[in-house]
A and B are shown apart, each in its own frame.
Chain A
Amino acid sequence: MPAYSRRQFLRGTLVAGAGVAAGVGFPRIITAQGKGPIKVGVLHSLSGTMAISEAPIKEVVLMAIDEINRAGGVLGRKVEPVVEDPASNWDLFAEKAKKLLLQDKVATVFGCWTSVSRKSVLPVFEKNNGLLFYPVQYEGEECSKNVIYTGATINQQATPAIDYLMSADGGSKKRFYLLGSDYVYPRTTNKILRLYLTKVKKVPESAIAEEYTPFHHQDYQTIVGKIKSFSAAGDAAVINTLNGDTNVPFFKELANQGVTADRTPTMSFSFAEVELQTLDVKPLVGHFASWNYFMSLKTPENLKWVSAWKAWAKKAGIGDKQAVTDDPMMHAYVHVKLWAEAVKRAESTEVDRVLKAIESLQVSSPVGKYKVDAQNHHTWKPVYIGKIRADGQFEVVWKTKDWVRPAPWSEVTYPGRGCDWSKGGKGSFDMVGGKRVWLSEKS
Protein backbone atom coordinates (compact mmCIF):
# COMPACT_ATOMS: atom_id res chain seq x y z
CA MET A 1 0.00 0.00 0.00
CA PRO A 2 1.27 3.52 -0.68
CA ALA A 3 2.75 5.22 2.36
CA TYR A 4 0.05 7.79 2.78
CA SER A 5 -2.83 5.43 3.08
CA ARG A 6 -0.87 3.23 5.46
CA ARG A 7 -0.53 6.28 7.59
CA GLN A 8 -4.20 7.00 7.25
CA PHE A 9 -5.00 3.49 8.30
CA LEU A 10 -2.68 3.75 11.24
CA ARG A 11 -4.21 7.00 12.27
CA GLY A 12 -7.68 5.61 12.09
CA THR A 13 -6.68 2.51 13.99
CA LEU A 14 -5.05 4.64 16.58
CA VAL A 15 -8.23 6.54 17.18
CA ALA A 16 -10.47 3.52 17.22
CA GLY A 17 -7.98 1.52 19.19
CA ALA A 18 -7.66 4.22 21.75
CA GLY A 19 -11.38 4.17 22.19
CA VAL A 20 -11.52 0.43 22.69
CA ALA A 21 -8.52 0.43 24.96
CA ALA A 22 -10.11 3.20 26.94
CA GLY A 23 -13.23 1.20 27.42
CA VAL A 24 -11.29 -1.83 28.52
CA GLY A 25 -8.72 0.02 30.54
CA PHE A 26 -11.16 1.84 32.76
CA PRO A 27 -11.10 0.86 36.38
CA ARG A 28 -13.54 -1.81 37.30
CA ILE A 29 -16.86 -0.87 38.76
CA ILE A 30 -16.68 -1.48 42.47
CA THR A 31 -19.64 -1.88 44.74
CA ALA A 32 -19.78 -0.13 48.09
CA GLN A 33 -21.82 -2.79 49.81
CA GLY A 34 -20.38 -5.80 51.44
CA LYS A 35 -17.83 -6.32 54.13
CA GLY A 36 -15.14 -4.01 52.85
CA PRO A 37 -14.57 -0.43 53.97
CA ILE A 38 -17.41 2.06 53.63
CA LYS A 39 -16.53 4.63 51.01
CA VAL A 40 -17.44 8.25 51.54
CA GLY A 41 -16.85 11.09 49.13
CA VAL A 42 -15.04 14.33 49.92
CA LEU A 43 -15.92 16.99 47.36
CA HIS A 44 -14.15 20.24 48.15
CA SER A 45 -12.16 22.55 45.87
CA LEU A 46 -8.47 22.01 46.43
CA SER A 47 -7.49 24.50 43.74
CA GLY A 48 -8.89 27.62 42.19
CA THR A 49 -10.47 30.70 43.68
CA MET A 50 -12.26 28.86 46.50
CA ALA A 51 -9.34 26.74 47.60
CA ILE A 52 -8.31 29.31 50.18
CA SER A 53 -11.50 28.52 52.09
CA GLU A 54 -12.26 24.92 51.12
CA ALA A 55 -8.93 23.16 51.30
CA PRO A 56 -8.83 23.12 55.13
CA ILE A 57 -12.31 21.61 55.18
CA LYS A 58 -11.08 18.58 53.32
CA GLU A 59 -8.37 18.15 55.94
CA VAL A 60 -10.74 18.42 58.86
CA VAL A 61 -13.08 15.86 57.27
CA LEU A 62 -10.15 13.49 56.88
CA MET A 63 -9.27 14.12 60.51
CA ALA A 64 -12.79 13.26 61.63
CA ILE A 65 -12.79 10.09 59.55
CA ASP A 66 -9.44 9.14 61.02
CA GLU A 67 -10.80 9.59 64.55
CA ILE A 68 -13.81 7.45 63.71
CA ASN A 69 -11.64 4.72 62.30
CA ARG A 70 -9.43 4.77 65.34
CA ALA A 71 -12.46 4.27 67.52
CA GLY A 72 -13.36 1.17 65.52
CA GLY A 73 -15.03 2.52 62.45
CA VAL A 74 -18.71 2.35 61.69
CA LEU A 75 -20.71 -0.88 61.95
CA GLY A 76 -17.41 -2.65 62.39
CA ARG A 77 -16.10 -1.42 59.06
CA LYS A 78 -13.49 1.19 58.33
CA VAL A 79 -14.48 4.41 56.58
CA GLU A 80 -12.51 5.14 53.43
CA PRO A 81 -12.51 8.68 52.06
CA VAL A 82 -12.52 9.23 48.29
CA VAL A 83 -11.17 12.72 47.72
CA GLU A 84 -11.99 14.64 44.53
CA ASP A 85 -10.84 18.09 43.45
CA PRO A 86 -13.49 19.97 41.50
CA ALA A 87 -11.08 22.93 41.23
CA SER A 88 -13.66 25.71 41.91
CA ASN A 89 -15.26 24.79 38.58
CA TRP A 90 -19.00 24.30 38.92
CA ASP A 91 -19.28 21.96 35.94
CA LEU A 92 -16.57 19.80 37.41
CA PHE A 93 -18.49 19.65 40.69
CA ALA A 94 -21.38 18.04 38.86
CA GLU A 95 -19.11 15.62 37.04
CA LYS A 96 -17.25 14.61 40.20
CA ALA A 97 -20.52 14.17 42.06
CA LYS A 98 -21.70 11.82 39.35
CA LYS A 99 -18.45 9.94 39.56
CA LEU A 100 -18.66 9.58 43.33
CA LEU A 101 -22.23 8.41 43.32
CA LEU A 102 -22.31 6.27 40.19
CA GLN A 103 -18.75 5.08 39.86
CA ASP A 104 -17.37 4.86 43.39
CA LYS A 105 -20.82 4.20 44.87
CA VAL A 106 -20.05 6.13 48.03
CA ALA A 107 -22.39 5.97 50.99
CA THR A 108 -22.41 9.72 51.45
CA VAL A 109 -20.59 12.82 50.28
CA PHE A 110 -19.22 15.63 52.43
CA GLY A 111 -18.83 18.59 50.18
CA CYS A 112 -19.39 21.92 48.53
CA TRP A 113 -18.95 25.47 49.72
CA THR A 114 -20.44 27.99 47.33
CA SER A 115 -24.12 27.77 46.68
CA VAL A 116 -23.27 27.54 42.99
CA SER A 117 -21.44 24.30 43.57
CA ARG A 118 -24.27 22.97 45.68
CA LYS A 119 -26.86 23.87 43.08
CA SER A 120 -24.72 22.23 40.42
CA VAL A 121 -24.56 18.91 42.26
CA LEU A 122 -28.08 18.95 43.65
CA PRO A 123 -29.72 17.41 40.56
CA VAL A 124 -27.15 14.62 40.62
CA PHE A 125 -27.91 13.79 44.24
CA GLU A 126 -31.63 13.96 43.78
CA LYS A 127 -31.67 11.87 40.62
CA ASN A 128 -29.55 9.17 42.19
CA ASN A 129 -30.87 9.38 45.76
CA GLY A 130 -27.46 10.23 47.18
CA LEU A 131 -26.69 11.99 50.45
CA LEU A 132 -24.76 15.25 50.77
CA PHE A 133 -23.62 16.94 53.96
CA TYR A 134 -23.20 20.66 53.35
CA PRO A 135 -21.24 22.60 56.02
CA VAL A 136 -21.40 26.20 54.88
CA GLN A 137 -23.72 29.08 55.68
CA TYR A 138 -26.06 29.74 52.79
CA GLU A 139 -29.09 31.65 51.62
CA GLY A 140 -31.76 29.09 52.36
CA GLU A 141 -34.70 28.83 49.97
CA GLU A 142 -33.83 25.22 49.49
CA CYS A 143 -34.70 22.08 51.38
CA SER A 144 -33.70 18.94 49.57
CA LYS A 145 -34.40 15.46 50.83
CA ASN A 146 -30.90 14.41 49.89
CA VAL A 147 -28.97 17.11 51.70
CA ILE A 148 -28.26 17.66 55.38
CA TYR A 149 -27.49 21.34 55.74
CA THR A 150 -25.19 21.88 58.71
CA GLY A 151 -24.39 25.44 57.67
CA ALA A 152 -26.33 28.42 58.94
CA THR A 153 -29.54 29.65 57.40
CA ILE A 154 -30.18 33.37 57.08
CA ASN A 155 -31.92 33.55 60.42
CA GLN A 156 -28.96 31.85 62.06
CA GLN A 157 -26.36 34.25 60.77
CA ALA A 158 -27.48 37.20 58.71
CA THR A 159 -30.53 38.66 60.42
CA PRO A 160 -29.03 38.41 63.93
CA ALA A 161 -26.03 40.29 62.54
CA ILE A 162 -28.28 43.07 61.28
CA ASP A 163 -30.00 43.16 64.65
CA TYR A 164 -26.65 43.53 66.31
CA LEU A 165 -25.46 46.31 64.03
CA MET A 166 -28.64 48.27 64.54
CA SER A 167 -28.49 47.91 68.30
CA ALA A 168 -26.58 50.24 70.56
CA ASP A 169 -23.89 47.63 71.09
CA GLY A 170 -23.29 47.38 67.40
CA GLY A 171 -23.06 51.09 66.92
CA SER A 172 -26.67 51.87 66.03
CA LYS A 173 -25.96 51.56 62.35
CA LYS A 174 -28.66 52.84 60.05
CA ARG A 175 -27.16 52.65 56.58
CA PHE A 176 -25.98 49.49 54.90
CA TYR A 177 -23.75 48.85 51.93
CA LEU A 178 -24.38 45.33 50.68
CA LEU A 179 -21.32 44.05 48.83
CA GLY A 180 -21.11 40.52 47.53
CA SER A 181 -19.83 38.17 44.87
CA ASP A 182 -22.17 37.84 41.94
CA TYR A 183 -23.91 34.54 42.47
CA VAL A 184 -26.90 33.00 44.15
CA TYR A 185 -25.85 33.26 47.79
CA PRO A 186 -25.14 36.99 48.00
CA ARG A 187 -28.01 37.84 45.65
CA THR A 188 -30.56 35.88 47.64
CA THR A 189 -29.17 36.95 50.99
CA ASN A 190 -29.29 40.60 50.00
CA LYS A 191 -32.79 40.18 48.63
CA ILE A 192 -33.91 38.85 52.01
CA LEU A 193 -31.91 41.41 53.97
CA ARG A 194 -33.31 44.26 51.96
CA LEU A 195 -36.84 43.10 52.73
CA TYR A 196 -35.91 42.56 56.36
CA LEU A 197 -34.41 46.03 56.63
CA THR A 198 -37.21 47.86 54.87
CA LYS A 199 -40.23 45.94 56.14
CA VAL A 200 -39.21 44.80 59.58
CA LYS A 201 -36.61 47.36 60.62
CA LYS A 202 -38.18 50.28 58.79
CA VAL A 203 -34.97 51.40 57.15
CA PRO A 204 -35.58 53.61 54.08
CA GLU A 205 -34.50 52.28 50.67
CA SER A 206 -32.11 55.20 50.25
CA ALA A 207 -30.10 53.93 53.16
CA ILE A 208 -29.28 50.67 51.38
CA ALA A 209 -26.78 50.24 48.54
CA GLU A 210 -25.99 47.01 46.68
CA GLU A 211 -22.98 45.96 44.61
CA TYR A 212 -21.71 42.72 43.09
CA THR A 213 -18.30 41.74 41.78
CA PRO A 214 -17.28 38.60 39.89
CA PHE A 215 -15.35 35.82 41.57
CA HIS A 216 -11.65 36.53 41.86
CA HIS A 217 -12.15 40.24 41.22
CA GLN A 218 -8.98 42.14 42.07
CA ASP A 219 -9.52 45.88 41.73
CA TYR A 220 -11.65 47.44 44.45
CA GLN A 221 -10.47 51.04 44.18
CA THR A 222 -13.72 52.51 42.91
CA ILE A 223 -15.88 50.39 45.17
CA VAL A 224 -13.98 51.37 48.29
CA GLY A 225 -14.27 54.97 47.18
CA LYS A 226 -18.02 54.51 46.91
CA ILE A 227 -18.13 52.96 50.35
CA LYS A 228 -16.29 55.94 51.75
CA SER A 229 -18.75 58.35 50.23
CA PHE A 230 -21.70 56.27 51.33
CA SER A 231 -20.46 56.09 54.87
CA ALA A 232 -19.25 59.66 55.20
CA ALA A 233 -22.55 60.56 56.77
CA GLY A 234 -21.92 58.10 59.52
CA ASP A 235 -23.92 55.23 60.95
CA ALA A 236 -22.97 53.03 58.02
CA ALA A 237 -21.82 49.45 57.87
CA VAL A 238 -20.72 47.19 55.04
CA ILE A 239 -22.41 43.81 54.81
CA ASN A 240 -19.81 41.66 53.12
CA THR A 241 -20.85 38.50 51.27
CA LEU A 242 -17.74 38.28 49.09
CA ASN A 243 -16.50 34.73 48.73
CA GLY A 244 -13.11 33.14 48.45
CA ASP A 245 -9.88 34.95 47.76
CA THR A 246 -11.56 38.08 46.44
CA ASN A 247 -11.80 39.11 50.10
CA VAL A 248 -8.05 39.63 50.15
CA PRO A 249 -7.75 42.54 47.70
CA PHE A 250 -10.96 44.03 49.10
CA PHE A 251 -9.68 44.22 52.65
CA LYS A 252 -6.26 45.36 51.48
CA GLU A 253 -7.82 48.25 49.58
CA LEU A 254 -10.11 49.03 52.51
CA ALA A 255 -7.13 49.26 54.82
CA ASN A 256 -5.04 51.24 52.36
CA GLN A 257 -7.71 53.85 51.83
CA GLY A 258 -8.10 54.40 55.50
CA VAL A 259 -11.54 52.93 56.07
CA THR A 260 -11.40 51.84 59.69
CA ALA A 261 -13.78 49.71 61.62
CA ASP A 262 -14.77 52.36 64.09
CA ARG A 263 -16.24 54.55 61.41
CA THR A 264 -17.50 51.95 58.99
CA PRO A 265 -17.35 48.40 60.27
CA THR A 266 -17.62 45.50 57.89
CA MET A 267 -19.83 42.58 58.88
CA SER A 268 -18.74 39.51 56.92
CA PHE A 269 -20.62 36.30 56.41
CA SER A 270 -18.05 34.36 54.41
CA PHE A 271 -14.86 35.57 55.98
CA ALA A 272 -13.38 33.82 58.99
CA GLU A 273 -10.16 32.88 60.73
CA VAL A 274 -8.90 30.94 57.74
CA GLU A 275 -9.07 33.88 55.35
CA LEU A 276 -8.00 36.36 58.01
CA GLN A 277 -4.68 34.71 58.67
CA THR A 278 -3.55 35.48 55.11
CA LEU A 279 -3.91 39.22 55.70
CA ASP A 280 -2.19 41.86 57.74
CA VAL A 281 -4.47 42.01 60.75
CA LYS A 282 -3.66 45.40 62.22
CA PRO A 283 -5.73 47.58 59.88
CA LEU A 284 -8.63 45.15 60.10
CA VAL A 285 -9.02 45.23 63.85
CA GLY A 286 -12.59 45.97 64.82
CA HIS A 287 -14.34 44.52 61.79
CA PHE A 288 -17.01 41.94 62.47
CA ALA A 289 -18.07 38.51 61.36
CA SER A 290 -21.19 36.55 62.19
CA TRP A 291 -20.85 32.83 62.70
CA ASN A 292 -21.97 29.94 64.86
CA TYR A 293 -18.45 29.30 66.09
CA PHE A 294 -15.20 31.10 66.68
CA MET A 295 -11.81 29.65 67.36
CA SER A 296 -11.52 31.88 70.42
CA LEU A 297 -14.39 30.19 72.25
CA LYS A 298 -13.19 28.89 75.56
CA THR A 299 -15.27 25.75 75.98
CA PRO A 300 -13.32 22.63 77.00
CA GLU A 301 -14.46 20.76 73.89
CA ASN A 302 -13.25 23.53 71.66
CA LEU A 303 -9.85 23.75 73.32
CA LYS A 304 -9.52 20.02 72.85
CA TRP A 305 -10.58 20.11 69.22
CA VAL A 306 -8.30 23.01 68.34
CA SER A 307 -5.26 21.28 69.75
CA ALA A 308 -6.20 18.03 67.97
CA TRP A 309 -6.48 20.03 64.74
CA LYS A 310 -3.12 21.69 65.25
CA ALA A 311 -1.52 18.30 65.73
CA TRP A 312 -3.17 16.97 62.57
CA ALA A 313 -2.23 20.06 60.60
CA LYS A 314 1.37 19.68 61.60
CA LYS A 315 1.38 16.13 60.27
CA ALA A 316 -0.30 17.30 57.07
CA GLY A 317 2.40 19.89 56.57
CA ILE A 318 0.23 22.95 57.19
CA GLY A 319 2.14 25.79 58.79
CA ASP A 320 1.28 26.65 62.35
CA LYS A 321 0.15 30.14 61.48
CA GLN A 322 -2.24 28.71 58.92
CA ALA A 323 -3.59 25.99 61.20
CA VAL A 324 -6.63 27.88 62.44
CA THR A 325 -10.16 26.63 62.80
CA ASP A 326 -13.32 28.31 61.64
CA ASP A 327 -17.05 27.82 61.51
CA PRO A 328 -17.38 25.74 58.30
CA MET A 329 -14.54 23.55 59.51
CA MET A 330 -16.35 23.00 62.77
CA HIS A 331 -19.57 22.08 61.02
CA ALA A 332 -17.70 19.78 58.62
CA TYR A 333 -16.04 18.02 61.52
CA VAL A 334 -19.28 17.63 63.40
CA HIS A 335 -21.31 16.44 60.46
CA VAL A 336 -18.94 13.58 59.79
CA LYS A 337 -19.60 12.52 63.37
CA LEU A 338 -23.30 13.06 62.85
CA TRP A 339 -23.30 10.76 59.83
CA ALA A 340 -21.40 8.08 61.72
CA GLU A 341 -23.87 8.27 64.59
CA ALA A 342 -26.82 8.12 62.24
CA VAL A 343 -25.41 5.07 60.49
CA LYS A 344 -24.91 3.39 63.86
CA ARG A 345 -28.45 4.19 64.81
CA ALA A 346 -29.87 3.05 61.50
CA GLU A 347 -27.58 0.03 61.43
CA SER A 348 -27.15 0.62 57.73
CA THR A 349 -25.55 3.03 55.28
CA GLU A 350 -28.60 3.11 53.09
CA VAL A 351 -29.60 6.70 52.46
CA ASP A 352 -33.27 6.57 53.42
CA ARG A 353 -32.58 4.79 56.67
CA VAL A 354 -29.77 7.15 57.58
CA LEU A 355 -32.06 10.10 56.88
CA LYS A 356 -34.65 8.62 59.20
CA ALA A 357 -32.08 8.05 61.93
CA ILE A 358 -30.58 11.51 61.72
CA GLU A 359 -33.74 13.40 62.62
CA SER A 360 -33.30 15.03 66.04
CA LEU A 361 -29.92 13.34 66.41
CA GLN A 362 -27.53 15.00 68.85
CA VAL A 363 -23.76 14.82 69.09
CA SER A 364 -21.29 16.76 71.17
CA SER A 365 -19.40 19.50 69.38
CA PRO A 366 -16.97 22.34 70.12
CA VAL A 367 -19.97 24.61 70.74
CA GLY A 368 -21.95 22.24 72.85
CA LYS A 369 -24.73 19.75 72.18
CA TYR A 370 -25.28 19.89 68.45
CA LYS A 371 -28.72 18.89 67.24
CA VAL A 372 -30.33 18.09 63.91
CA ASP A 373 -33.82 19.48 63.55
CA ALA A 374 -36.63 16.99 63.72
CA GLN A 375 -38.09 17.99 60.39
CA ASN A 376 -36.16 20.11 57.97
CA HIS A 377 -32.70 18.57 57.53
CA HIS A 378 -30.99 21.56 59.08
CA THR A 379 -29.28 21.95 62.44
CA TRP A 380 -29.79 24.13 65.48
CA LYS A 381 -27.08 26.63 66.29
CA PRO A 382 -25.88 29.38 68.63
CA VAL A 383 -25.14 32.68 66.91
CA TYR A 384 -22.02 34.67 67.75
CA ILE A 385 -20.84 38.04 66.54
CA GLY A 386 -17.07 38.27 66.57
CA LYS A 387 -14.79 41.28 66.33
CA ILE A 388 -11.33 41.01 64.81
CA ARG A 389 -8.61 41.25 67.40
CA ALA A 390 -5.01 42.26 66.87
CA ASP A 391 -3.81 38.68 67.34
CA GLY A 392 -5.79 37.40 64.38
CA GLN A 393 -8.61 35.91 66.44
CA PHE A 394 -12.23 36.99 66.67
CA GLU A 395 -13.41 38.25 70.01
CA VAL A 396 -17.02 37.37 70.74
CA VAL A 397 -18.93 40.58 71.38
CA TRP A 398 -22.46 39.27 71.27
CA LYS A 399 -24.33 36.02 71.23
CA THR A 400 -27.89 34.78 71.22
CA LYS A 401 -29.27 33.58 74.48
CA ASP A 402 -30.59 30.30 73.17
CA TRP A 403 -29.77 28.18 70.20
CA VAL A 404 -31.69 29.26 67.11
CA ARG A 405 -34.01 26.97 65.19
CA PRO A 406 -33.11 26.74 61.51
CA ALA A 407 -35.59 28.29 59.08
CA PRO A 408 -34.61 27.55 55.49
CA TRP A 409 -37.49 29.65 54.17
CA SER A 410 -37.30 33.17 55.54
CA GLU A 411 -40.44 34.56 57.11
CA VAL A 412 -39.83 37.82 55.33
CA THR A 413 -39.87 36.46 51.78
CA TYR A 414 -42.04 33.40 52.15
CA PRO A 415 -44.25 33.81 55.19
CA GLY A 416 -45.73 30.58 56.32
CA ARG A 417 -43.51 28.38 54.22
CA GLY A 418 -41.74 25.56 55.96
CA CYS A 419 -40.08 22.27 55.28
CA ASP A 420 -40.79 18.85 56.69
CA TRP A 421 -39.24 15.55 55.66
CA SER A 422 -40.22 13.60 58.70
CA LYS A 423 -42.95 11.01 58.84
CA GLY A 424 -43.60 10.92 55.13
CA GLY A 425 -43.38 14.67 54.66
CA LYS A 426 -42.57 15.86 51.19
CA GLY A 427 -40.25 18.73 51.90
CA SER A 428 -41.15 22.37 51.38
CA PHE A 429 -44.74 23.35 51.91
CA ASP A 430 -46.94 26.40 52.08
CA MET A 431 -49.64 26.90 54.64
CA VAL A 432 -52.85 27.55 52.74
CA GLY A 433 -55.92 27.93 54.84
CA GLY A 434 -54.32 26.14 57.75
CA LYS A 435 -53.38 23.10 55.69
CA ARG A 436 -50.05 22.08 54.22
CA VAL A 437 -49.69 22.27 50.45
CA TRP A 438 -46.51 20.56 49.30
CA LEU A 439 -44.46 22.50 46.73
CA SER A 440 -43.55 19.33 44.90
CA GLU A 441 -47.21 18.62 44.35
CA LYS A 442 -48.05 22.01 42.96
CA SER A 443 -48.50 21.80 39.25
Chain B
Amino acid sequence: MRRIEALGVLADLTSRHPVVATCAATSRELASVKDGDNHLYLLDAMGLVGSVATGLALSVNPSAPKVVGIEGDGSLLMNPNVLPTGGYLAPGNLILVLLDNGVYGSTGALPTYSSKVDLQRLAAAAGWTTRSAETTEGLRAAFGELLTVREPAFLYARIEEGNAPGTEKLLIDPVSITGRFTRWLREAHAAEVAA
Protein backbone atom coordinates (compact mmCIF):
# COMPACT_ATOMS: atom_id res chain seq x y z
CA MET B 1 0.00 0.00 0.00
CA ARG B 2 1.36 3.38 -0.99
CA ARG B 3 0.88 6.38 1.26
CA ILE B 4 -1.38 8.13 -1.20
CA GLU B 5 -3.57 5.04 -1.44
CA ALA B 6 -3.87 4.88 2.34
CA LEU B 7 -4.68 8.59 2.44
CA GLY B 8 -7.34 8.07 -0.21
CA VAL B 9 -9.05 5.54 2.04
CA LEU B 10 -8.71 7.74 5.11
CA ALA B 11 -9.99 10.84 3.30
CA ASP B 12 -13.03 8.86 2.23
CA LEU B 13 -13.68 7.59 5.77
CA THR B 14 -13.13 10.83 7.68
CA SER B 15 -15.31 13.50 6.06
CA ARG B 16 -17.26 13.84 9.35
CA HIS B 17 -14.12 13.72 11.53
CA PRO B 18 -11.59 16.36 12.54
CA VAL B 19 -8.34 15.21 10.92
CA VAL B 20 -4.92 16.35 12.10
CA ALA B 21 -2.26 15.51 9.52
CA THR B 22 1.48 15.51 9.89
CA CYS B 23 3.72 17.78 7.87
CA ALA B 24 5.31 17.63 4.44
CA ALA B 25 4.53 14.73 2.09
CA THR B 26 1.66 13.36 4.18
CA SER B 27 -0.23 16.67 4.30
CA ARG B 28 0.51 17.40 0.65
CA GLU B 29 -0.69 14.01 -0.52
CA LEU B 30 -3.81 14.17 1.68
CA ALA B 31 -4.67 17.59 0.25
CA SER B 32 -4.07 16.31 -3.28
CA VAL B 33 -6.40 13.37 -2.73
CA LYS B 34 -9.09 15.42 -1.02
CA ASP B 35 -8.90 18.78 0.68
CA GLY B 36 -11.47 19.70 3.29
CA ASP B 37 -12.27 22.19 6.01
CA ASN B 38 -12.06 19.29 8.47
CA HIS B 39 -8.35 18.91 7.71
CA LEU B 40 -5.87 20.52 10.08
CA TYR B 41 -2.55 20.33 8.29
CA LEU B 42 0.42 20.81 10.58
CA LEU B 43 2.75 22.40 8.07
CA ASP B 44 5.74 22.13 10.40
CA ALA B 45 5.75 21.17 14.09
CA MET B 46 6.96 17.65 13.32
CA GLY B 47 5.94 15.23 16.05
CA LEU B 48 3.02 17.27 17.29
CA VAL B 49 0.12 15.51 15.56
CA GLY B 50 -0.61 13.16 18.46
CA SER B 51 -0.41 15.99 20.98
CA VAL B 52 -2.70 18.30 19.00
CA ALA B 53 -5.14 15.48 18.28
CA THR B 54 -5.19 14.58 21.99
CA GLY B 55 -5.88 18.18 22.96
CA LEU B 56 -8.68 18.37 20.42
CA ALA B 57 -10.18 15.10 21.58
CA LEU B 58 -10.25 16.39 25.13
CA SER B 59 -11.85 19.66 24.04
CA VAL B 60 -14.59 18.70 21.59
CA ASN B 61 -17.86 17.08 22.55
CA PRO B 62 -16.98 13.39 23.07
CA SER B 63 -20.23 12.37 21.40
CA ALA B 64 -19.23 14.00 18.11
CA PRO B 65 -17.30 12.00 15.47
CA LYS B 66 -13.87 10.97 16.72
CA VAL B 67 -10.74 13.04 16.23
CA VAL B 68 -8.33 11.38 13.80
CA GLY B 69 -4.59 12.01 13.74
CA ILE B 70 -2.51 10.90 10.75
CA GLU B 71 1.10 10.50 11.76
CA GLY B 72 4.30 9.07 10.30
CA ASP B 73 6.81 6.81 12.03
CA GLY B 74 9.61 9.37 11.95
CA SER B 75 7.35 12.06 13.31
CA LEU B 76 5.95 9.87 16.09
CA LEU B 77 9.47 8.95 17.11
CA MET B 78 10.25 12.66 17.48
CA ASN B 79 7.61 12.90 20.18
CA PRO B 80 6.86 9.39 21.42
CA ASN B 81 5.43 10.96 24.58
CA VAL B 82 2.21 10.99 22.58
CA LEU B 83 1.73 7.32 23.40
CA PRO B 84 1.96 7.37 27.20
CA THR B 85 0.16 10.70 27.38
CA GLY B 86 -2.72 9.43 25.25
CA GLY B 87 -2.85 6.23 27.25
CA TYR B 88 -2.90 8.14 30.51
CA LEU B 89 -5.44 10.80 29.57
CA ALA B 90 -7.39 8.17 27.62
CA PRO B 91 -9.75 10.18 25.43
CA GLY B 92 -12.15 7.63 23.99
CA ASN B 93 -12.78 9.79 20.93
CA LEU B 94 -9.27 9.65 19.48
CA ILE B 95 -7.87 7.52 16.65
CA LEU B 96 -4.20 7.89 15.77
CA VAL B 97 -3.32 6.37 12.40
CA LEU B 98 0.36 5.63 12.00
CA LEU B 99 1.57 5.35 8.40
CA ASP B 100 4.86 3.51 8.82
CA ASN B 101 7.17 3.44 5.82
CA GLY B 102 10.30 2.87 7.88
CA VAL B 103 11.98 6.08 6.77
CA TYR B 104 11.91 9.85 7.13
CA GLY B 105 10.07 10.04 3.84
CA SER B 106 10.20 13.78 3.34
CA THR B 107 13.81 14.26 4.32
CA GLY B 108 15.97 11.97 2.26
CA ALA B 109 14.44 8.61 3.18
CA LEU B 110 16.90 7.95 5.97
CA PRO B 111 15.78 5.08 8.20
CA THR B 112 13.74 5.47 11.39
CA TYR B 113 13.82 3.03 14.30
CA SER B 114 10.67 1.29 13.13
CA SER B 115 12.48 -1.67 11.58
CA LYS B 116 13.63 -2.66 15.08
CA VAL B 117 11.06 -1.05 17.37
CA ASP B 118 7.47 -2.26 17.22
CA LEU B 119 5.45 0.93 17.42
CA GLN B 120 2.13 -0.90 17.62
CA ARG B 121 3.31 -2.79 20.70
CA LEU B 122 4.54 0.45 22.20
CA ALA B 123 1.08 1.93 21.76
CA ALA B 124 -0.60 -1.15 23.20
CA ALA B 125 1.73 -1.09 26.20
CA ALA B 126 0.73 2.53 26.81
CA GLY B 127 -2.96 1.64 26.90
CA TRP B 128 -4.15 2.20 23.35
CA THR B 129 -6.46 -0.27 21.62
CA THR B 130 -4.62 -1.21 18.44
CA ARG B 131 -5.26 -2.70 15.04
CA SER B 132 -2.96 -3.09 12.06
CA ALA B 133 -3.34 -3.07 8.30
CA GLU B 134 -1.18 -3.71 5.27
CA THR B 135 -3.75 -3.22 2.52
CA THR B 136 -6.36 -0.59 1.72
CA GLU B 137 -9.10 -3.11 2.47
CA GLY B 138 -7.49 -3.92 5.80
CA LEU B 139 -7.14 -0.23 6.58
CA ARG B 140 -10.81 0.38 5.92
CA ALA B 141 -11.84 -2.57 8.08
CA ALA B 142 -9.51 -1.68 10.97
CA PHE B 143 -10.67 1.93 10.98
CA GLY B 144 -14.26 0.78 11.18
CA GLU B 145 -13.47 -1.44 14.14
CA LEU B 146 -11.65 1.33 15.98
CA LEU B 147 -14.60 3.68 15.61
CA THR B 148 -16.43 1.47 18.10
CA VAL B 149 -13.86 1.25 20.91
CA ARG B 150 -14.01 3.38 24.03
CA GLU B 151 -10.28 3.77 24.55
CA PRO B 152 -7.78 5.81 22.55
CA ALA B 153 -7.23 3.86 19.35
CA PHE B 154 -4.05 3.28 17.38
CA LEU B 155 -4.14 2.04 13.80
CA TYR B 156 -0.78 0.80 12.59
CA ALA B 157 -0.61 0.82 8.80
CA ARG B 158 2.43 -0.46 6.99
CA ILE B 159 3.01 1.48 3.79
CA GLU B 160 5.61 1.44 1.04
CA GLU B 161 8.51 3.82 1.00
CA GLY B 162 8.28 6.72 -1.43
CA ASN B 163 6.25 9.84 -2.08
CA ALA B 164 3.67 10.40 -4.79
CA PRO B 165 5.44 12.18 -7.63
CA GLY B 166 4.31 15.61 -8.72
CA THR B 167 2.37 16.43 -5.57
CA GLU B 168 2.23 20.18 -5.07
CA LYS B 169 3.57 21.79 -1.93
CA LEU B 170 1.04 23.15 0.54
CA LEU B 171 1.73 26.87 0.52
CA ILE B 172 -1.17 27.88 2.75
CA ASP B 173 -1.03 30.54 5.45
CA PRO B 174 -1.56 28.56 8.67
CA VAL B 175 -3.99 31.22 9.84
CA SER B 176 -6.33 30.34 7.01
CA ILE B 177 -6.22 26.71 8.14
CA THR B 178 -7.12 27.79 11.67
CA GLY B 179 -10.02 29.88 10.38
CA ARG B 180 -11.61 27.22 8.25
CA PHE B 181 -10.94 24.35 10.67
CA THR B 182 -12.32 26.27 13.66
CA ARG B 183 -15.42 27.23 11.70
CA TRP B 184 -15.92 23.62 10.59
CA LEU B 185 -15.62 22.38 14.18
CA ARG B 186 -18.19 24.91 15.33
CA GLU B 187 -20.68 24.60 12.50
CA ALA B 188 -20.38 21.03 11.21
CA HIS B 189 -18.71 18.83 13.83
CA ALA B 190 -20.64 20.21 16.80
CA ALA B 191 -23.87 19.97 14.81
CA GLU B 192 -23.39 16.19 14.61
CA VAL B 193 -24.10 16.06 18.34
CA ALA B 194 -27.19 18.21 18.10
CA ALA B 195 -28.40 16.04 15.23
A and B: bona fide binding partners: no
B residues lining the A interface (CB < 8 Å) = none
Q: Which residues of chain A have a CB within 8 Å of any CB of chain B? A: none
